[in-house]
Structure formats: structure tokens, C-alpha cells
Amino acid sequence: MALPVGRPDEPDLEQIEVGLLLEGIYRRYGFDFREYAPASLRRRLRRRMDGEGVETVSALQELVLHDPQVMERLLLDLSINVTAMFRDPSFFLAFRQHVVPLLRTYPFSRLWVAGCSTGEEVYSLAILLAEEGLSERTRVYATDINEAVIDLARLGVFPLDKMQEYTHNYIRAGGTTAFSKYYVARYDGAQFARSLADSVVFAQHNLASDAAFNEFHVITCRNVMIYFDRPLQDHVHRLFYESLAIFGILALGQKETIRQSPHERAFEELAAEERLYRKVR
């Protein structure tokens, strides 16, 4: 008997395979990528397929489910790790102008850097807070789904050949001293001062599946949600709303917005061009 031929409106075979792989990852390891943007997800899966030398998503699934080391390599591909120190310098200028004065009104404040990757933004904020005299009155929580990049963030070592670019960003971001005072060059790396991380807590957290874990005065999640589909974006917006104190600040990436999110009306624009919003209800 001939097998039935799929209708034109049925999902293609690779789409079915991807769905099975993501479901398997969720059940086996607890990582939930089921609502990530499909186009970006497929590109990253193909990169890992090439790396593992397999030609189908089903073959990759077999490796992932039976070998945790393959899963670790895939997790690195699926995580968003494009970052730089003082990336988008105008954002940090706006942070100094609009957010720092609000932080000064609190005896103690908590900041959450969600999706911290390898830590460049965390150390950038730590430098900014130190220059504004807020280090001892602030606790920064830096989280990411990927434990491997969190370990790198804890080290505070970044490529030495990036320091010229980062120095330029720092100056444009309103830096008030010589950027080189914050790090020591060692071999091909720049080791940033350990004191910058004294008030930082690094931890694993999955935005797709983990709950709120504290109340924050500032949450930054820049250039992360662009990789999520709409239902997952809505979920994360609800998580941030629940995690922010009243009058708390939400910072998003330049291609992200609070508009049409579940709690849009609960926020007012603080610096619209830099995607800084304040929770007012």
C-alpha cells in the first residue's frame, strides 16, 4: 500500500523534526526553546549539525539525547552571545541621565541583567555604578540560560584586542576616567578588576521556564527577546512586570519595545529612543 502524500499546507519534515528535538531537549534537560523564533532557531541547529557531522535534525536529536556533551555544545549555539562592553553607548548615557538619579533615591537597589551572556554588559554597568558612587548601595544579579557563559562572565576576562573598541565605546558612553584603569593586560586577555564583581551575583536562569526570583528596581534585557516568538515575548514581559518594583525601570534593546506587550499600559516612556521604560502601576 502506498504511503499518503502530505498536503501542501502540512508542515515540512524538518519542521516536524525540529519540534521533536525541542520537546526532547525540554523533557531530557529542562531547557525550553520551543517558542524561539523559528528562522533563527533553524540556523543555529544547522550550525550544530555541521559541527557534529550529521545531515538531519533527527540524527542530531539522537546525539543530543544520549550525550550531554553534545547538548552542551548545542546550548552554546542556541544561546545569544553577541555582546560588547558599553554596546550602544547612547544607552549608557541615557542610563546615567535618567536611571542613576532614581537609584540615588533608594538606600539599596537591585538590578537584574537578564541574558547576561559572557558578562560584557554586567561589567559595563558595574563600572558605571562605581563612577556614580552607587556600587556599595547596589546588588546586580546577572543571569543566563547557559552555565558555560556564566562561568566566563565570572572570570571577567575579555579579549585584549577588543580594548580599543571598548575604550571608544566607554568614552562615548560618558566614562569619567581612563578605561585602562579597570583592567590588567595578561597575555592576550584583559582581566577586569575583581572589585567590580563584588556586588554581582551570577546565576543560571531560563527566561522561558523559570519564575520571578526577587523584586528589582532595574531590569535590563537588551537584544534577547528579538530571538523569541510572540507568545514567549509576552511571557517574558509578564515575568519582568512581576519582578519590577513600582517605578522600577525596564531596559530593552533598540529593536525591542514595550508596545503591544501584556502590560504596555503599566509603563511610561523614560527615554523612548533608548528603550527605557518606567513601571507606573
- The domain ranges of the chain are 13-78, 89-279
pLDDT at 264 over 70: yes
Which has more confidence, 4 or 177? 177
- The mean predicted confidence, pLDDT, of the chain is 92
Please report the pLDDT score of residue 24 as a whole number. 95
Name the percent of the chain lying above pLDDT 70.
95
Rounded to two decimals, the pTM is 0.83
Provide mean pLDDT across the span 66-73. Answer: 92
Strand, helix or coil at 59? helix
Question: What confidence tier does 39 reach under pLDDT thresholds 50, 70, 90?
Answer: confident
pLDDT at 31 over 60: yes
pLDDT at 10 over 80: no
Whose cell is 509578564? That residue is 238
Q: If you write DSSP's letter for every residue of the chain in order, what string do you get? A: -PPPPPPTTSPPHHHHHHHHHHHHHHHHH----TTB-HHHHHHHHHHHHHHHT-SSHHHHHHHHHH-HHHHHHHHHHHS-----TT-SHHHHHHIIIIIHHHHTTSSSEEEEEES-TTSHHHHHHHHHHHHTT-GGGEEEEEEES-HHHHHHHHHTEEEGGGHHHHHHHHHHTT--S-GGGGEEEETTEEEE-GGGGTTEEEEE--TTT----S-EEEEEE-SSGGGB-HHHHHHHHHHHHHHEEEEEEEEE-TT--STTSTTGGGEEEEEGGGTEEEE--
Provide mean pLDDT across the span 83-112. Answer: 97
Strand, helix or coil at 187? coil
Question: What confidence tier does 82 reach under pLDDT thresholds 50, 70, 90?
Answer: low
pLDDT at 54 over 90: yes
* Residue 62 amino acid letter: E
Please report the pLDDT score of residue 127 as a whole number. 98
**43, 46, 93, 229 from 170: Cα distances, Å:** 33, 36, 10, 33
Task: List phi, psi (to 5°) of 243.
Answer: -90, -15
Closest Cα to residue 154, out of 144, 162, 163?
144
Please report the pLDDT score of residue 17 as a whole number. 95
Closest Cα to residue 129, out of 144, 149, 109?
109
Q: Which three cell numbers stand for residue 140?
A: 546586580
Provide mean pLDDT across the span 236-251. Answer: 98
Give exposure, 113-134, as e/b (b: 16+ Cβ within 10 Å). bbbbbbbbbbbbbbbbbbebeb
Q: How far apart are CA 279 and CA 281, in angstroms?
A: 6
| Homologous superfamily of 89-279 | Vaccinia Virus protein VP39 (3.40.50.150)
The string of pLDDT tens digits covering residues 105-115 is: 999 999 999 99
Which of 1-10, 63-72, 266-275 has the lowest average pLDDT?
Answer: 1-10
pLDDT at 76 over 90: no
pLDDT at 80 over 80: no
pLDDT at 1 over 60: no
